Chain A
């Protein structure tokens, strides 16, 4: 038993118990197995989230997260405030943490493992604090631990008093090196953690949930995690996919497309709330997954007293998104005039675009064909002279609902054996044919 909730504790179940013993105390006990893969994933998600506090983050399996905070103190005023922010943030995500501060990575993780809220900022006090730690905080093999116990050693400090060469001979050089690193006598270099370029997080709900408010409550965690990571990267999101996982039925998906980049958790939650209130769930929800495929850079807001125009554009974008979230994307649009004599062609609709939104497009060819031409296909393989090799990822273009020329295409840059470079696409709908649309000159 690793953890027991309050109901289990009332039955006398305590951490450290064997599962069989616990089941004997309460036969209807629900035992959830540990999932190391999920734990590793959660630790990496937290590392990405923690990037907002420090640019040097190291996740250490199974449950330690190291942050270099010396460089962030001025930004967060002082250490106390920084730690409060970290703890509050973790609590918001539903995690509990034991925080310790020390001049070296190992010392900090050992202090935290020993359950001490130590804040050691002075290297002179380091050896003393580390010396009082029990051996259990060290990463030791059982044989090493047994050997140390046999030598009558119970505290880290006892090791420090022993001659180095003898200790190295008996317990291995790495053990001595670890002690040196912990005390700052030897550098402890680790590659900094680089978070993945996409956001993908999943939250298992404790039970199944149907009610919108409970879903929004759970979603708050995922959105807080997302916005923490966005702050860390000074990035924003323009599109989000929320997946609601049901026990049996196929998952429901909610796609949120924004008119302007944002990393405002309140705004995102408000939009999701509108969308959730509007869908019919086939079944209760047992898990939520939030995914953002792109995290484009979004500068930190400059606090400008006299920038009403920019502010009003932001307000307009927020208003348009609220309207679209409740009424549907097709219900909100703008009109434009087209220089054209035929009256019915002299006007058109488009999706609302505010000044902040820019259409980010992939690579475009210099020659475009007047109409896409169907490609010769052998099996599923497009063919121009020879089989075409696809470069990179597909650029999906799904657009145009407002002018009845809706398209759904995956564009690729493709090359044949002769080195000719083409712009081709595949329909996203059946029969998923290949078409040629442009030539890179």
Chain B
């Protein structure tokens, strides 16, 4: 076994990291606070929604952008629609590390999620599994631990009634007061009790906050564009 193989193992703690990999910042400070420091790595995260299109992907966009820029793969398994490449790109996602998997059957979908989680190359696996039983969820939780990967499962809201081995369970609803706002109810989290609904603003400005670089680059470009005007 060489060092790379060892590094692929989730149970190896690497000293010298700036901070222990306790949580992966979600890009939304309010959510990070509610989750006690961001997404817990190497675990399952359930996102319970009744309708697609309320901003569930935008919530994850900063995380996906960051992972793909670290050259870890992000895999979509059985997405309900086609992930639109230009939007992902605008959100800062490095498309070279995005993989789409369209299994035909449910068992194949579960298998694909398990393989991708376990492989250790995927930073996050987004899967749309409506009818996963708790036994398969447990398998997926173990696979996520083995591959130190985020397994993000989108499930129907009524799944909240059943127990789940996922480390984090979030129920997403559109906020009543304003558009582009999400109301997040933390049903389960590591190291804490469930919280009441957390309201979040999900938009691109916030999504960039994890990425100072593109924003400053844009700023410089604007300044340079203005410079000739000043000279004139």
Contact = CB atoms under 8 A, between A and B. Distances in A.
B71 interface: yes
Interface in A298-339: 303, 305-309, 311-312, 315-316, 318-320, 322-323, 326-327, 330-338
B122 interface: yes
Nearest to A315: B121
A192 interface: no
Contacts of A330: 102
A309 B71 contact: yes
A348 B85 contact: yes
Interface in B58-111: 71-73, 82-86, 88-89, 95-96, 98-104, 108, 111
B98 A335 contact: yes
Nearest to B83: A335
A402 to B, nearest CB: 10
B112 A308 contact: no
B7 A308 contact: yes
Nearest to A307: B4
A327 B99 CA distance: 14
A327 B85 contact: no
A334 B4 CA distance: 26
A153 B161 CA distance: 96
Contacts of B3: 305-306
A334 B98 contact: yes
A336 B85 contact: yes
Contacts of B102: 327, 330-333
A302 to B, nearest CB: 11
B87 to A, nearest CB: 9
A335 B104 contact: no
A327 B71 contact: no
Nearest to A306: B3
B8 to A, nearest CB: 7
A347 B101 contact: no
A356 to B, nearest CB: 13
Contacts of A326: 108, 111-112
Contacts of B83: 335
Nearest to A327: B103
A335 B101 contact: no
B177 to A, nearest CB: 30
A365 interface: no
B71 A347 contact: no
A221 B37 CA distance: 52
A315 B73 CA distance: 11
B95 A327 contact: no
A347 B99 contact: no
B196 to A, nearest CB: 37
Contact of A337 (B72, B95, B116): B95
B120 interface: yes
B95 A336 contact: yes
B119 A308 contact: no
Interface string A44-58: 000000000000000
Nearest to B116: A319
B135 interface: no
A194 interface: no
A315 B99 contact: no
A293 interface: no
Contacts of A323: 101, 112, 115-116
A331 B103 contact: yes
Given A311-B4, A316-B73, A335 B100 contact: yes
Contacts of B108: 326-327
B137 to A, nearest CB: 20
Interface string B1-34: 0111001100000000000000000000000000
Interface centre among B4, B95, B119, by most chain A C-beta atoms within 10 angstroms, is: B4
Given A331-B101, A335-B85, A319 B2 contact: no
Contact of B84 (A312, A315, A322, A347): A347
Contact of B95 (A308, A309, A315, A335): A335
A352 interface: yes
A123 to B, nearest CB: 42
Given A303-B2, A312-B71, A319-B116, A332 B100 contact: yes
A327 B101 contact: yes
Contacts of A346: 85-86
Interface string B107-144: 01001100110011110000000000000000000000
B2 A334 contact: no
Contacts of B4: 307-308, 311
A347 B86 contact: yes
A155 B132 CA distance: 78
A320 B104 contact: no
Contact of A315 (B85, B104, B112, B119): B119
Contacts of A331: 101-104
Contacts of B89: 337
Contacts of B120: 312, 315
A190 B116 CA distance: 53
A320 B116 CA distance: 9
A379 to B, nearest CB: 45
A335 B81 CA distance: 13
B94 to A, nearest CB: 11
A159 to B, nearest CB: 56
Given A333-B102, A337-B85, A338-B85, 18 more contacts: A305-B2, A312-B72, A315-B119, A323-B101, A327-B102, A327-B112, A330-B102, A332-B100, A332-B101, A335-B83, A335-B88, A335-B98, A335-B100, A337-B86, A337-B88, A337-B89, A343-B86, A349-B100
| In the A-B complex, the 8 residue pairs with the closest CB atoms | A347-B85, A311-B4, A337-B85, A335-B85, A319-B119, A316-B121, A315-B121, A337-B86
Interface of A: 303, 305-309, 311-312, 315-316, 318-320, 322-323, 326-327, 330-338, 343, 346-349, 352
21 contacts: A309-B71, A311-B4, A311-B7, A311-B8, A312-B120, A315-B119, A315-B120, A316-B119, A319-B119, A323-B115, A330-B102, A332-B99, A332-B102, A333-B99, A333-B100, A333-B102, A337-B85, A337-B95, A347-B84, A348-B85, A349-B100
